[in-house]
Structure 1
Amino acid sequence: MIRFYLLIIVSLISLLAFLKAPEYHLWLLAIGVTEFPLIFFGISLLLTLTGFWAHKYQMAGTILGVVTMLIFLSPIVRAYWVSKTLKDDMAKAFKSADGKGTPGLSATDVPFSFWNLFKGTDTIDYRTITYVKYKDTALKLDFYPAQDQGTDFLLPKPCVIVVHGGSWAGGDSKQLPELNSYLALKGYNVAAINYRMAPKWQTPAPVEDIQAAITYLKTHADELHIDVRNFVLLGRSAGAQIATLAAYTINEPSLKGVIDFYGPEDMVWGYSIPSSRLIMDSRKVMEDYIGGTYSKVPQKYYACSPLEFVSKQSPPTLIIHGDNDVLVSPEHSRRLNLKLQQNGIRHYLLKLPWATHGFDYNLNGPGGQLSTFAVATFLKTVCPRPPKEGGIKY
């Protein structure tokens, strides 16, 4: 009897692989269900196997257990399905100017592997640097130096500037550091920045901080071994709104692309359709960041909506979003994708049907593998390796 009840509970949890979480703690659980599926599969397998000794509801429990196991495995199956076309789709979306496809993308690059679900993540040391001092505060960044890449280790490397999430009021540069180490091991410098946060500071302060970070990194390029002509912005959630707004407004020639992980891109629409208060009071969060309700400061909502500033000069953009996101609606990414398409900007929207907000918490999970592959492919495209001899050519 206890086994049957436990299987019912586990089976209800498994539904988070398909349905949107209705509450904050269930959203956190949904990240585990979809990005650590083998753990939950193992739990349901153990409960199902105890049916050999159960007396009541033996058959019903076994059937329920098998169905539950299949549901827990569904993100893996769907990741395989997405991976089948991801490489070709990205090659078409980001083909080089000569039409030959994505530079540096080899036939051995695999978007998703079942065996990578068992892998750990490598980390490297970073140094913390103060990059700007204001009258009322100073800001720091964590710098992950590019690791040696064969014979080109003497060449300056591109730099990825990472902007953390946290509803514009929380989080820091230590958030989700695994991708930083991964990119550094692939030969990119990574600068994970802190920025001024709400409610003390409001938009456009964080965009100004990105500009300050680029200025600092350029000034210290020789010391940090940075290729000053190749910067890419990467932001998550609120950080993605900051990163894309900066990418589309600061007119920085060295900025070669922007990566948007589940960011709010239409702040006007986002305010009109808030998220569930059981998850987050999104209107209060936006009011603290923007400086008032939409009815009081409508122009500021337009001014911090990245898609309003997309133009034919905007940099290439990679958008990554889960369809089951309950904090930032996938509609934001759909709208940005359409605006980029209308302006002829090289871009790609990676949609993950099972994934929720923060799915990249596990770099080796189904969503984590696909998004990491997409990021690496994008960087190879917008920051191609310079020739090893004869200097850097552009």
Structure 2
Amino acid sequence: MLAKPKILLSWLVLLLSSVNLFLSSWIILPAPNMFLLTLAVGAPEVSPWLLLLNLLFLLLSFFYIRRRKIQRLVCIFSLIGLLICGWMLVNIPSTQMQMAKAMKQGLGANYLEQIPIQVSAKMQTDPFNLVNFFWGIPLGKIRHQKDILFASPAGFPLKMEVYQPPEVGKYPAVVVIYGGSWQYGNPHANSEFNQYIANHGYTVFAIDYRHAPKYQFPSQLDDVRVALNFIRKNAAAYEADPERMVLLGRSAGAHLAMLAAYQTDAPPIRAVVNYYGPVDLTEGYKTPPIPDPIHSRAVLKAFLGGSLKELPNQYQIASPINYITHPLPPTLLIYGSRDNLVEARFGRQMYERLHDSGNTAVFLEIPWAEHAFDAVFNGVSNQLALYYTERFLAWALFKQ
């Protein structure tokens, strides 16, 4: 009587182990389309869970499954999954060491000593913490305001969200610009990050901008510049210090952050943080990634209004890499080696240009990370990125 349930359970274990292997495989496989891109983004970030599941199925294959063929398959699937997840996890310490070295090379060996003790005491103590991975990174209390209208270009309402520390005071400003191929998104994106940063002593302004293809470049840049002027004008109302401001963006938002900060008439900006942002739109059009899940050339056409052949000057003007002609704010660049939307080579080129021109820059590369890796806030890659981002912010805004 018990044979049939055991057989059914054995088949179920085989099915689940194959699904888990499928998910684990996206830690190393490039995604050919948007659906699979979601898996490729998420799989590395939840790899400890995938590793535990692979281990569970392996143990079940030894101690529970009696059918040799099923046992062998479950064992093979689980071992392959374990190897994939294990490869990634064992590389965390070496990646952390490389990132620590890059920070010291870019900011100086003693950059941490320039951060006040009361600021550094609030920061994450470890680049990666398993407790935070399983239970979540504590966000803390904040004050939060939504739907703050800052401009209405051509009647289009642009709003921002403001995240403030729990106590009344005067704090450095972090202006956050969301990504989304310049075509979608809203200021509420990555709200966990904004809450975390605000709780650690910053006023965070998450701003909006008009979207392509209805509104094409430079509309988005104009909106960011208007937002910066609004923030500076109204800084006191939001307990922000307009002379201590950092721009932080993700993907398309990082592109806009760099462009806004690198203009010769930009307001005083202490630093820029670029999470996997496009920096050279001309070269990005010429050599799109393979595979290309978002159809990069179509995205660029929608943003700029035409192809590279039709609008070569627009591609030049819209590329931050072409603005390294004068002293620029310190720049932190964070990219994933497996990014198939904005390849890490562009971030590396940007870093080299900044460094060679005498500007302060740091380039951090996460070997297993895909585009938008920080969508999983407590994930492996975001913990590493957050650890060094908050140190960079503290160095730029609090250094003595």
Report the TM-score, using the length of structure 2 for normalisation. Answer: 0.88
* Alignment correspondent of 2:367: 353
Matched-pair contact (CA < 8 Å) for 2:337–2:366: yes
Matched-pair contact (CA < 8 Å) for 2:45–2:380: yes
* Alignment correspondent of 2:333: 319
Q: Which among 256, 279, 287 is matched to residue 301 of structure 2?
A: 287
Q: Distance in 2 between matches of 1:172 and 1:27?
A: 21
* Alignment correspondent of 2:33: 23
* Alignment correspondent of 2:74: 61
Please state whether the residue corresponding to 1:81 is helix, strand or coil.
Answer: helix
Q: What CA deviation, in whole Å up to 9, does each residue of 1:46-84 have, x standing for no partner?
A: 322321232123245325413412422433322222223
* Alignment correspondent of 1:390: none
Matched-pair contact (CA < 8 Å) for 1:75–1:366: no
Q: Which runs of 4+ in 1 moved over 6 A?
A: none
Matched-pair contact (CA < 8 Å) for 1:147–1:188: no
Q: Distance in 1 between matches of 2:264 and 2:395?
A: 22
Moved more, 361-370 or 62-71: 62-71
* Alignment correspondent of 2:322: 308
Q: Which among 150, 155, 159 is matched to residue 136 of structure 1?
A: 155
Q: Distance in 1 between matches of 2:124 and 2:144?
A: 30
Q: Distance in 2 between matches of 1:44 and 1:381?
A: 41
Q: Distance in 2 between matches of 1:20 and 1:268?
A: 23
Please state whether the residue corresponding to 1:320 is helix, strand or coil.
Answer: strand
Structural mapping, 1:138-177, within 5 Å = 138-148=157-167, 154=169, 156-177=170-191
* Alignment correspondent of 2:95: 82
Considering fraction of residues, name the structure with more helix. 2
Alignment pair present for 1:109 and 2:128: no
* Alignment correspondent of 1:391: none
Matched-pair contact (CA < 8 Å) for 1:162–1:234: yes
Matched-pair contact (CA < 8 Å) for 2:44–2:369: yes
How far the C-alpha of 1:108 sits from its partner, in A, is 7.9
Structural mapping, 1:269-284, within 5 Å = 269-275=283-289, 279-284=293-298
Which amino acid in 1 is paired with 2:64? W
Please state whether the residue corresponding to 1:126 is helix, strand or coil.
Answer: strand
Matched-pair contact (CA < 8 Å) for 2:166–2:199: yes
Matched-pair contact (CA < 8 Å) for 1:76–1:114: no
Q: Distance in 1 between matches of 2:211 and 2:102?
A: 37
Q: Which among 214, 220, 229 is matched to residue 200 of structure 1?
A: 214
Please state whether the residue corresponding to 1:143 is helix, strand or coil.
Answer: strand
Provide the identity percentage: 30
How far the C-alpha of 1:311 sits from its partner, in A, is 3.1
Please state whether the residue corresponding to 2:90 is helix, strand or coil.
Answer: helix
Matched-pair contact (CA < 8 Å) for 2:111–2:395: no
* Alignment correspondent of 2:380: 366
- Relative distance call for 1:19 and 1:102 in structure 2 (3 A) is farther
Q: Distance in 1 between matches of 2:91 and 2:343?
A: 20
Unaligned runs of 5+ in 1: 387-394
Q: Distance in 1 between matches of 2:232 and 2:100?
A: 33
Matched-pair contact (CA < 8 Å) for 1:167–1:285: yes
Which amino acid in 1 is paired with 2:128? F
Matched-pair contact (CA < 8 Å) for 1:91–1:102: no
How far the C-alpha of 1:93 sits from its partner, in A, is 1.4
* Alignment correspondent of 1:126: 144
